[in-house]
């Protein structure tokens, strides 16, 4: 029987007094009959594949926008943003010419704003030194801000139909299960194993459809948790013994709970905001407070996730500002809808202005889940050094 060339040996190491087996399990599975695998996958895709707006174009700009939006974000959340983004910034030149505040405003609610800044920076390079011609060469693509191996390959595959593999959350899960990969997929060896197998299975032509099909299999059938193996078109090729346990990953860092204190100040119908220089850089937030001082009345509290933190946003009527005065400005209510505001602060302002139903700041479905509640103000106080 033909064997895979991508073997990883089992090893044991001794470190000080502690001896442990290195994670590993040989990737010694028999090679898959790649042409037969592809035929089955593509036949399924032709009838069951998803109809996604970015699959109706081969424009590198539109495909790049979709791929950057889809990093860390689900299709259902991305779809309305993608359509609105292309209406507002239809090409590299328009995006390059836009002020950063407009770019952040169009992105607000999607989170991970570094993606928007990178896309903006990439557009400036393409519209400037590349004269609006997107490179076809993957190495050149990877020189652009925000384009790693996956994103460059995705544009090469979907815009230019180049035969390059794609490994992201969906395809990585499918490949790890097909291989019965016991390595952690977020380890260097696990990543290499999956990328190597993705390359081995890739067709020389029509890689665009093949890659889309593998993604859809992961999104619709080989889903996280228990997969729908009874519906799977490539089941005869799958070596997974306990698919629900795959892919293996490093355990998540424990959630940390923190409280951040902000102030709501109104004067003559204007609200005071602070331009952030740290998280959400360039966006406007309710001014930060020194949580150790007197804080006034608690007006609102919301929880939101941020990386491995669970943050409580607590808004007060008073308190000592943290940032120097030049970072704060008063805004009229009707200016708020055109300002870039991160979702938790937009929701807080929406809540605080809720007395007037016509004053809603909400423009898009919020991408981040939240609960709104009012704990006792004392429980939100930051423990301060004496
Ligand atoms: S048989 Fe099950 S585990 Fe294997 S690829 Fe199909 S859905 Fe995934």
Average pLDDT over the chain, rounded to whole? 87
Q: What is the pLDDT of residues 42-73, one digit of tens each?
A: 999 999 999 999 999 999 999 999 999 999 99
Residues 168 and 86: their CA atoms lie apart, in Å, by 24
Task: Using alpha carbons, select from 24, 22, 5, 4 the residue that is nearest to residue 13.
Answer: 22
In terms of domains, do 341 and 232 share one?
no
Look at residue 382 in the predicted model and tell me its pLDDT: 59
Ligand 1: distance of its center to the CA of 233 in Å?
Answer: 8
Give the DSSP letter string of 264-288.
Answer: --EETTEEEEEE-SBTBTTSEESPB
Q: Pick the atom of ligand 1 nearest to 232's CA.
A: 6
Q: Which long-range contacts (CB under 8 A, 24 or more apart) does 95-102 make?
A: 95/119, 95/120, 95/123, 95/127, 96/120, 96/123, 96/124, 96/126, 96/127, 96/128, 97/127, 100/282, 101/282, 101/339, 101/340
pTM for this predicted structure:
0.83
Domain span at 290: 256-380
Residues 45 and 173: their CA atoms lie apart, in Å, by 18
**315 within some domain:** yes
Q: Whose CA is nearest to atom 8 of ligand 1?
A: 222
**43 within some domain:** yes
Q: How many domains does the chain have?
A: 2
Look at residue 111 in the predicted model and tell me its pLDDT: 93
Q: Whose CA is nearest to atom 1 of ligand 1?
A: 235
Q: What is the pLDDT of residues 95-150, one digit of tens each?
A: 999 999 999 999 999 999 999 999 999 999 999 988 889 999 999 999 999 999 99
In terms of domains, do 179 and 277 share one?
no
**For residue 205, what are the CA distances in angstroms to 170, 201, 208, 217, 334?**
22, 12, 8, 19, 53
- Looking at the predicted structure, is the pLDDT value of residue 212 above 60? yes
In terms of domains, do 21 and 165 share one?
yes
Enzyme catalytic residues: 67
Of 245, 271, 301, which residue constitutes the final position of a domain?
A: 245
In terms of domains, do 278 and 358 share one?
yes
**6 within some domain:** no
Q: Pick the atom of ligand 1 nearest to 228's CA.
A: 7
Q: Pick the atom of ligand 1 nearest to 233's CA.
A: 6
- Looking at the predicted structure, is the pLDDT value of residue 295 above 70? yes
DSSP structural state of residue 83: H
In terms of domains, do 223 and 282 share one?
no
Ligand 1: distance of its center to the CA of 157 in Å?
Answer: 24
Residues 89 and 64: their CA atoms lie apart, in Å, by 13
Specify the CATH number for the domain of residue 161: 1.10.340.30
In terms of domains, do 228 and 372 share one?
no
Report whether 287 contacts 274 (CB < 8 A).
Answer: yes
In terms of domains, do 114 and 174 share one?
yes
- Looking at the predicted structure, is the pLDDT value of residue 203 above 70? yes
Q: State whether the beta carbon of 240 lies less than 6 angstroms from ligand 1.
A: yes
In terms of domains, do 172 and 216 share one?
yes
In terms of domains, do 372 and 333 share one?
yes
In terms of domains, do 240 and 270 share one?
no
Q: State whether the beta carbon of 174 lies less than 6 angstroms from ligand 1.
A: yes
């Amino acid at each position: 029987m033909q064997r895979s060339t991508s073997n990883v040996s089992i090893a044991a190491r001794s470190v000080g007094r502690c001896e442990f087996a290195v994670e590993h399990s040989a990737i010694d599975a028999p090679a898959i009959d790649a042409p037969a695998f592809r035929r089955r996958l593509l036949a399924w895709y032709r009838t069951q594949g998803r109809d996604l707006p970015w699959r109706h174009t081969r424009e590198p700009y539109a495909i790049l926008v979709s791929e950057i939006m889809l990093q860390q974000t689900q299709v259902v959340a991305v779809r309305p943003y993608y359509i609105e983004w292309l209406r507002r910034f239809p090409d590299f030149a328009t995006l390059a010419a836009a002020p950063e505040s407009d770019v952040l405003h169009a992105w607000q609610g999607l989170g991970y704003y570094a993606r928007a800044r990178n896309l903006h920076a990439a557009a400036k390079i393409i519209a400037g030194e590349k004269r609006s011609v997107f490179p076809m060469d993957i190495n050149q693509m990877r020189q652009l801000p925000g384009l790693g191996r996956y994103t460059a390959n995705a544009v090469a595959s979907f815009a230019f139909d180049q035969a390059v593999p794609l490994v992201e959350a969906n395809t990585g899960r499918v490949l790890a299960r097909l291989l019965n990969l016991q390595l952690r997929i977020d380890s260097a060896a696990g990543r290499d194993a999956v990328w190597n197998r993705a390359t081995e299975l890739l067709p020389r032509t029509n890689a665009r459809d093949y890659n889309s099909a593998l993604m859809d299999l992961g999104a619709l059938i080989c889903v996280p948790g228990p997969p729908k193996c009874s519906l799977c078109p490539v089941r005869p090729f799958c070596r997974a013994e306990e698919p629900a346990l795959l892919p293996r990953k490093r355990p998540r860092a424990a959630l940390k709970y923190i409280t951040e204190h902000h102030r709501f100040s109104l004067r003559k119908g204007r609200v005071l905001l602070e331009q952030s220089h740290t998280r959400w850089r360039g966006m406007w937030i309710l001014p930060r407070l020194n949580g150790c001082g007197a804080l006034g009345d608690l007006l609102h509290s919301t929880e939101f996730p941020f990386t491995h933190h669970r943050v409580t946003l607590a808004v007060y009527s008073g308190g000592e500002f943290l940032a120097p005065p030049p970072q704060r400005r008063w805004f009229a209510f009707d200016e708020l809808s055109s300002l870039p505001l991160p979702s938790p602060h937009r929701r807080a302002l929406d809540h605080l202005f809720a007395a007037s139903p016509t004053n809603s700041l909400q423009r898009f479905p919020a991408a981040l889940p939240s609960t709104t509640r009012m704990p006792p103000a004392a429980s939100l106080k930051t423990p301060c050094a004496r």
